[in-house]
Each structure stands twice: as C-alpha cells, then as structure tokens.
Amino acid sequence: MLGLVAPHYRRSLDEGRALVREMMQATGDLEVAGRTLTVRLRPLSAPRHTAAMAAVCEELNRRTLHFPGTNLLLRFAVKDTPCFT
C-alpha cells in the first residue's frame, strides 16, 4: 500500500505509514450491484489525506480485483468524491 500512496502523497516518506494505517482503519459502506462490490470509504481526517486515498482508489480500480472467494469485481471510492472506474 505504501508504494501506491507514494506517487500521490508528497510526504509519503515521512508520514506514509501513518496514512496507510489511517486508510486501513477508515469506515465506509459496501454496495453490491450486479457483479460489482463497491467499497465507499468515508473521508479521512485531512483533505490531503482524503485526496491521497482517492488516488489510491483510482489506482486499485485500474486493476482487476475480485473479492476473495467470489466473482464480485471490487471497486473503491471515497464518499463525496467522484467514483473512479
């Protein structure tokens, strides 16, 4: 995850691990529509953290990820920001 954060977060060397930890603890909602599972995360404590998380979501959405043990395609988004496809 730290490698995904680094290109989008200027202080990733200093604060990257703390940001990844905050991202992993973020709450959100799950939505199943057809064969897609969307994980919609709540914004983080600072706008710059939320922007970095949104960029990571966009990067993850470029990959073909499935929820383990299912054929559900995983999509990630941050609430109140555009859903990247």
User: Residue range 43-61: average pLDDT?
Assistant: 92
pLDDT at 52 over 80: yes
Phi, psi torsion values for 13, nearest 5 degrees: -70, -35
Q: What is the mean pLDDT of the chain?
A: 89
Torsion, Cα 57 10 45 32, to 10 degrees, reads: 0
- Asked if residue 75 has pLDDT above 50, the reply is yes
Indicate whether 49 pLDDT > 70.
yes
Is pLDDT at 85 greater than 80 in this prediction?
Answer: no
User: Distance from first CA to last CA of the chain, Å, rounded?
Assistant: 19
Range of weakest confidence among 5-14, 20-29, 33-42: 5-14
Under 8 Å between Cβ of 40 and 79: yes
pTM of the model: 0.83
